[in-house]
A and B are shown apart, each in its own frame.
Chain A
């Protein structure tokens, strides 16, 4: 295809991505190095006879407006926002480092900083949910594959539901069930033997609940991919393994799993990307007090009366960098595929 024809075909989609993905990224980066102007303060001395003089500080509305008009982006602060207490908190960390003798104390202090707390949850979520999803998906695929033909279709239909349903809605449905007055919550109260037992009160249990949701909602994806892989399983290899006296477990370990390995990497990469974005379940579970992810951290900055755009922008930039790091193995692989394909 000639360059010019390509350009005309690609122009609409390219323009959409340029204007609404690439430009916003630039805009986010710029916002993250500018802080909003502080209000210009005026000190006025009020003197009344007999009482004496008092100085009063007021906001000079005109001067503030003029300053905002002159420099609409705000004042340049460089990487200041990245290093402040709400984000990387360089100063606080060096103080903690000096104050703490042990690693344990340092980490417990570190978990008081909001950005690191969000980072810790996001990474824990990503690296616990992804392997569990793959494992559960594989077991479901093996079990469903041994079912009768008519049951398979029905199982696939119901298995798809947790994945297809809107994440916020899915998490709300689970949240209502684990509420201490809901059906699972009731069962947990009974099992714990404590009438005041509540998942919502404990940070640890809330994390577990969020991860259970994560596995529940993405296991279907792993299942469907592995199930499709099982349909192309080389029967002759399985038979050869049987003739050599392999047990069922050995067949799975030495024939089925190696056959599915490319699919495992595929699912792992997609899941790493998606779990790193974890967002809706935290909103649905109203768990912001116990767990923040990078996405909810941005969301909370943007919402509410005071939109803290600069702070949100700084977190956004760091999230994008995190995504790029997670993605680097995929990029290398795609490059190799592309080179190989030509």
Chain B
């Protein structure tokens, strides 16, 4: 592979390896540190006396007889009922991904198979919508939602998130369907299918890789949303991220920061698993837009 001329000089090789190591520490250390610290008491995780306490858990041992404790998790999940928020996030993510993929696939397919001028304008509008911060729309939602009495419930948030998701989904699936040769559905139409039958019998069987990649990003958007959930959900219907933000306000005064730390770690675990299993699709999705220019 690499010829001798391309081999790096030793000094550069060392510098490059050190840099990779530095980046590795920067990227991974905060997560490892927080996971480790979430099993400690607050005085260890935020230690004034000696920072090594966070590693050894000296105070935790003094209180609980072991350097690890799950009180943070118990406090968050049982006392503060974080499981409700986890459940809500599960519901929101499931419906957002399903609905937005269903309608996005139809729309993206249509955009990729039509060459009229309006497809361009629709795509441009979607691009502008994608660039707008979601919070700018929220003040437009509040009055009508109060008026119709649909503020604070999960279905409203799901529909709003589906809509906010659409521009990205459309762009992603549009460029994906462009790569499926249109001869496929043309020939199905020659054989007597109408457009929808051609879509169902010929395109659906081959579209799954693109749909899965798009679905991953839809899931991330719904899972990571803070602005919409914090503004449009009532306290009992909150999803995880707004709940964690609300935790901070209430727990800091009670000295229960560890509840928030435990909740943060709990909310990171699904993302960890997601990256582990779908690394290839995520990388593919990130670069898909770029390589196409």
Taking Cβ atoms with an 8 Å cutoff, the residues of A that contact B are 1-3, 5-6, 8-10, 12-14, 16-17, 19-21, 23-28, 31, 139-140, 142-144, 146-147, 153, 155-162, 164-169, 172-174, 176-177, 179, 181-183, 186-187, 216, 220-221, 224-225, 228-229, 238-239, 242, 248, 262-263, 266-267, 273, 276-277, 279-280, 283, 286, 294-295, 298-299, 301-303, 307, 309, 312-313, 316-317, 319-320, 323-324, 326-327, 330-331, 334-335, 337-338, 342
Report which of B17, B133, B163, B293 forms a contact with A277, defined as CB distance below 8 A.
B133
| Contact residues in A for B224 (Cβ distance below 8 Å) | 166-168
Q: Are B195 and A1 in contact (CB under 8 A)?
A: yes
| Contact residues in B for A158 (Cβ distance below 8 Å) | 24, 27-28
Report which of B30, B127, B164, B170 forms a contact with A327, defined as CB distance below 8 A.
B127
How many A-B residue pairs lie within 8 Å, measured between CB atoms?
Answer: 286
A2: min CB distance to chain B, Å: 8
A-B contact pairs, 20 of them (CB 8 A): A9-B199, A10-B111, A13-B104, A13-B170, A16-B159, A19-B163, A21-B129, A147-B20, A153-B279, A159-B27, A164-B271, A166-B223, A166-B226, A166-B271, A176-B45, A181-B46, A280-B226, A299-B227, A302-B231, A307-B142
Q: Are B271 and A228 in contact (CB under 8 A)?
A: no
B270: min CB distance to chain A, Å: 10
Residue in chain A with minimal CB distance to B220: A164
| Contact residues in B for A159 (Cβ distance below 8 Å) | 23, 27
Judge whether B91 is part of the interface by a CB distance below 8 angstroms.
no
Report which of A12, A143, A220, A276 forms a contact with B107, defined as CB distance below 8 A.
A12
B166: min CB distance to chain A, Å: 5
Q: Are B244 and A161 in contact (CB under 8 A)?
A: no
Q: Are A17 and B138 in contact (CB under 8 A)?
A: no
Main SS of the interface on chain B? helix
| Contact residues in B for A167 (Cβ distance below 8 Å) | 224, 226
A96: min CB distance to chain B, Å: 28
Q: Are A14 and B28 in contact (CB under 8 A)?
A: no
Q: Are B131 and A323 in contact (CB under 8 A)?
A: yes
Q: Are B244 and A27 in contact (CB under 8 A)?
A: no
Give the number of chain B interface residues (Cβ < 8 Å). Answer: 105
| Contact residues in B for A6 (Cβ distance below 8 Å) | 110, 114, 116
Q: How far is the CA of A276 from the CA of B131 in the complex (A)?
A: 9
Q: Are B107 and A27 in contact (CB under 8 A)?
A: no
| Contact residues in B for A156 (Cβ distance below 8 Å) | 279, 283
Judge whether B8 is part of the interface by a CB distance below 8 angstroms.
yes
B290: min CB distance to chain A, Å: 5
Known: A27-B144, A228-B291. A146 touches B136 (CB 8 A): no
| Contact residues in A for B27 (Cβ distance below 8 Å) | 158-159, 161-162, 216, 220
| Contact residues in B for A302 (Cβ distance below 8 Å) | 135, 138-139, 142, 231
Main SS of the interface on chain A? helix
Q: How far is the CA of A338 from the CA of B127 in the complex (A)?
A: 14
Q: Are A320 and B268 in contact (CB under 8 A)?
A: no
Which residues of B265-293 have CB atoms within 8 Å of chain A's CB atoms?
267-268, 271-272, 274-276, 279, 282-283, 286-287, 289-291, 293
Q: How far is the CA of A280 from the CA of B135 in the complex (A)?
A: 11
| Contact residues in A for B220 (Cβ distance below 8 Å) | 164
Q: Are A225 and B290 in contact (CB under 8 A)?
A: yes
| Contact residues in A for B286 (Cβ distance below 8 Å) | 221, 224-225, 228
Q: Are B124 and A331 in contact (CB under 8 A)?
A: yes
Report which of A13, A155, A267, A295 forms a contact with B103, defined as CB distance below 8 A.
A13
Q: Are A9 and B136 in contact (CB under 8 A)?
A: no
Which residues of B16-73 have CB atoms within 8 Å of chain A's CB atoms?
16-17, 19-20, 23-24, 26-28, 30-31, 33-34, 37, 45-48, 51, 54
